Amino acid sequence: MGAFITTPRHGIQLALFVLGSVLAFALAMAAMHALPTRYRRWITVLFTFVAGLFYLAEFVIPAGVGVPAGSSRATDNFLSKYLDPVGNASAIIFAVAVGMGILNLARVNGAPLLRGRPGWQNSLAFFAGLIAMTVVGLTRWHAMLGATTPAARRAVEAALVGRLYHLLFDGFYSNLGGTVFALLAFYIVSASYRAFRLRSREATLMMVTAFIVMLGNVPVGPTYLTGWIPEGHWFSFAKVEHVSDWIMSVPNMAAQRALIFGIMMGVIAMSLRVWLSLERGHFFGQED
């Protein structure tokens, strides 16, 4: 039976097995759907629990349990061999979900475009970018599939589809993405003069620390500010890069570690609540 299921198929057999598996999956979901509504939450709770239990059990069960003696996979237990298929299945499932993001964006931008609302030109820009990049990207990818040598790949890049791809990716996408985040630098400069006010001793401490770290990070601090102090001299601890390094690796490190402990508590609490389906909220509490 195991061999029947895990033997690769080809030709008509493959088509039958593929259709059959989809049909079987659909039937299983239909059977679950046919159950009374009150069971649906428990099915979800069960699946969530078993999924979490798999990874937890695989981690805590000692190495060698359920594995033949003398096996080459000394760190494994009887659950470890399922990590790879679960990982692959999860990757495929998450990849299929990407379409949802596209659908939502299309829905949000489709309404202004179809109804001629103000800003429809922006929605048109969205769809133009989406369709152009998808079509050109997939066409180029398909052409590259058949290009197995560097010369063939260069030929694809020199063709129209390659040129268009570089126009969209290198010309538009990369520059637009980089510049959106670069705007923040200008806002910081504006805020530095207009908003950063040292109205308390804590704020002053924060700003002095920031000044030291900023000057220690960039070459101008160590070179021109404290470059006159020779390395190895008893006073070299006062070199701005050493002070900055000390601030980062001692007080900052200790404070961040304390934050990590708090995060750790939160991760444990939240993971337990999700795993045991104790979480409440719009998503978790919905009933059909």
Partner 1 sequence: MSDVWTTITVLAGAVSTLAIFSLLYRENPVYRFFEYLFIGLAAGYGLVLTWSDVLYTMWYIPVFQQGAWWWMLAFAAGLLYYTIYIRKLAWMSRLLIGTMMGLSAGAAFQQVATQYAPQIAASFRPLLPPTWLGVAVRGDSPNLTWQQLVNNWVVLAILVSVMAYFFFSFEHRSAVMRKTANLGRWMLMISFGAIFGQTVMARMALAVSRLWFLLVDQRGLAGPGG
Partner 2 sequence: MLQDRTRHVLYLLLAAAIALPFFTGTVIPPTVGPEAKALYKAVEAVPNNKIVILSLEYEAGTLGENLPQTRALMNHLMKSGKRFAIMGFEPIGPVYGQIEADELAAKWHRPYGKYWVNWGYRTAYVQTLKAMAKDVAAAIRTDHRGVPLSKLPVMRGIHSPKDVGLVIDITPSTYYEAWMAFFTGPAKVKMAVAPTAVMVSDIFPYLDSGQMVGMLKGLAGAAQYEALVFGRTSRERGITWMTSVSMTHILIIALIILGNATEIITRRRKAVGGTA
**Residue 84 touches which of partner 1, partner 2, none (CB < 5 to 8 A by kind)?**
partner 2
- Gap between the Cα atoms of 215 and 218, Å rounded: 6
Near partner 2 by CB under 8 A: residue from 11, 116, 219, 285? 219
Q: What is the DSSP letter of 119?
A: T
Which partner from the list partner 2, partner 1, none does 5 bind, CB cut-off 5 to 8 Å by kind? Answer: partner 1
271 scored as a contact of partner 2 (CB under 8 A): no
Cβ neighbours of 271 (radius 10 Å): 12
Binding residue (CB under 8 A) for partner 1 from 114, 175, 198, 236:
175
Helices within 35-119 (DSSP H only) = 38-60, 83-115
CA-CA distance, 132 to 121, in Å (whole number)?
A: 16
- Closer CB to partner 2, 41 or 217, in the complex: 217
Examine residue 235 and tell whether it contacts partner 2 (CB under 8 A): no
For residues 187 and 178, what is the distance between their CA atoms, to the nearest angstrom? 15
Considering only residues 111 to 150 of the shown chain, the ones binding partner 1 according to CB under 8 A are 119, 121-123, 125-134, 137-138, 141
CB 37 within 8 Å of CB 287: yes
265 binding partner 2? (CB under 8 A): no
Shortest reach from residue 113's CB to partner 1, in Å? 11
Q: Which of residues 126-185 bind partner 2 (CB under 8 A)?
A: 144-145, 173-174, 176-178, 180-182, 185
- Residue 117 DSSP one-character state: -
- Binding-site member from 188, 264, 272, 274 for partner 2 (CB under 8 A): 188
281 DSSP assignment: S
As measured in angstroms, the least distance from the Cβ of 56 to partner 1 is 4
- For residues 211 to 230, the per-residue mask of contacts with partner 1, x marking binding by CB under 8 A and - elsewhere, is xxxx--xx------------
Q: Does 55 bind partner 2 (CB under 8 A)?
A: yes
Nearest residue (CB) to partner 2, 41 versus 242: 242
Q: Per CB under 8 A, does 207 bind partner 2? A: yes
Distance between CA atoms of residues 48 and 277, nearest Å: 7
Compute the 3-state secondary structure of the chain and give helix, strand, coil in percent, each to the nearest 5.
75, 0, 25
| Widest Cα–Cα separation across the chain | 82
Question: How far is the C-alpha of 182 from the C-alpha of 187, rounded, in Å?
Answer: 9
Which of 21, 104, 122, 249 forms a contact with partner 2 (CB under 8 A)?
A: 249
Choose, by CB under 8 A, the member of 5, 84, 99, 283 that binds partner 2.
84
Q: How far is CA 285 from the centre of its chain?
A: 26
Binding-residue total with partner 2 (CB under 8 A) = 58
